[in-house]
Amino acid sequence: MAVIHRTTMTPGKLDMLASWLPSQPWYAGSEPELAKAGGFRLDDPEGEVGIEFMVVTDTSMGRPHPYHVPVTYRGAPLEGAEAALIGTTEHGVLGTRWVYDGVHDPVLTERLLALLHGRAEPQAQSESDTADPTVHSRGMGEDIPDGAVVEGVESGMYGTDIRLSDPAGAGHWTLRVVRALTGDAEEAKGDAGPLLGEVTALWASPGAEPARARFAEVRPSTER
């Protein structure tokens, strides 16, 4: 299981995200004022990639707006993922870390599918070797095979869609990572077909009661 180090990161996560968020199509503001608001982690079985599903609230427009930002942390650049790089940071224990928008990292996608299949256990965001029972996943059964491959990734105003297909031609699916966790952005806009699986988790503005939101969902896709 992942070890959470009590150390420094320079620049910090919120500083990196504040510079990166304005360029994202699902971000509604212009100059983020961010605070941590929850999330969870998944373990990489190889122990090489840190995987965090982070929630931050932006108060720049008055009331807090929560955003879900899955990120991966790597000890070396991810080949071909230059456009997905959020930034680099100096970790007090691990040295230079490359921080990526996790929807473009194949390790995060594989682990998220494993969670939906019931083969991965969500971990606490800030504690080592500690499961997080507040994260709920409703699995897909045999709807999506373990061998599903990523055909493409596209972000829009409602979230990021990871397009999946079965190499044997048995089907196509959309794994949507929800980004804005309140309002219309939480609805499945323009999706054809039933909900096959979902991951829900808690988030909370500083001083507020936790709220549950859908972080990810899977639906069949008619796209080829």
pTM: 0.90
Question: Is there a contact between 125 and 41 (Cβ–Cβ < 8 Å)?
Answer: yes
Give the number of other CB atoms < 10 A from CB of residue 9.
19
Nearest residue to 160 (alpha-carbon basis) of 54, 26, 28, 53: 26
Nearest residue to 100 (alpha-carbon basis) of 172, 151, 160: 160
Question: Is there a contact between 7 and 91 (Cβ–Cβ < 8 Å)?
Answer: yes
- The arithmetic mean of pLDDT across residues 53-68, rounded, is 92
Question: Is there a contact between 60 and 30 (Cβ–Cβ < 8 Å)?
Answer: yes
Residue-wise pLDDT tens digits, 81-137:
999 999 999 887 777 999 999 999 999 999 999 999 889 999 998 887 899 999 999
- Per the listing, tokens 């932006």 go with 58
- The arithmetic mean of pLDDT across residues 167-171, rounded, is 77
